[in-house]
Structure 1
Amino acid sequence: MTTPTGARELAHPAYEEIRLADVLHALADPMRLRVVCGLAVAGTEVNCSAVELPVSKSTSTHHFRVLRESGVIRQSYRGTAKMNELRRDDLDALFPGLLDTVLAAAHRQKARLGPDAG
């Protein structure tokens, strides 16, 4: 995992360190999948509060950390805001079609079971 050089930088796995099992584990959780879907819809960097989760702030922080440490998202500070974006280019290069397939399946599930179905 790349080591942060400053106090306000976060560690992310390098491209060659991203593992399918870690990505699948991160995507398997309904709250983390909700984050990924929200980031995909946004299509750009958004702060953590832009993706509403029905969990406590500490639990939300945990989910974002798992996504970052698995290589699914990149986080960076902009002032006091922690910004988040999908590592779509990396994931598409490493696992072609995976992210699009997961997002499409999540969309179909939401349509079938309703927005609160995990």
Structure 2
Amino acid sequence: MARTLPQPAREAIEIVTVLQALADPVRLEVIRELSTVTEPRSCSLEAYDVDISAATLSHHWRVLREAGLTTTFVDGRRRWVELRRDDLQARFPGLLDAVLA
């Protein structure tokens, strides 16, 4: 059974923190890639078209999760991530679609 890493509750997601997280081009790119799938996706570097180290990608995942943009699931040694689309839509209607457009 997978567990989730700590993340803010829906009502605790703040727009300034979300926008700060999305201001980084790498984080924006991985959010764009996540927005194209409906199932959790691997957190591994090979799964994304970004030119950074695995440690740097790990940092970006933490920033996105702590901002409330993603959920990270841990299953043994593997980590999976998914976009918190429903939470973001409920909190800030239309924001995610506008940012991804």
Partner of 2:8: 13
Percent of residue pairs identical = 49
Q: In structure 2, which of residues 17, 21, 42 is the aligned counterpart of residue 22 of structure 1?
A: 17
Q: In structure 1, which of residues 8, 33, 42 is the aligned counterpart of residue 37 of structure 2?
A: 42
SS in 2 for 1:83: strand
Q: In structure 2, which of residues 72, 86, 91 is the aligned counterpart of residue 89 of structure 1?
A: 86
Task: For 1:95 and 1:85, locate their aligned partners in 2 and report how far apart those are by CA, in whole Å.
Answer: 18
Q: TM-score, normalised by structure 2?
A: 0.90
Quick check: which has more Rg, 1 or 2?
Answer: 1
Moved over 4 A (4+): none
Q: In structure 1, which of residues 21, 29, 32 is the aligned counterpart of residue 27 of structure 2?
A: 32
CA contact (8 A) 2:4 2:71 kept: no
Alignment of 1:62 with 2:59, yes or no, is yes
CA-atom RMSD in angstroms: 1.2
Gap runs ≥5 in structure 1: 1-7, 105-118
SS in 2 for 1:42: coil
Task: For 1:19 and 1:57, locate their aligned partners in 2 and report how far apart those are by CA, in whole Å.
Answer: 27
Gap runs ≥5 in structure 2: none
* Structure with the largest fraction of helix: 1
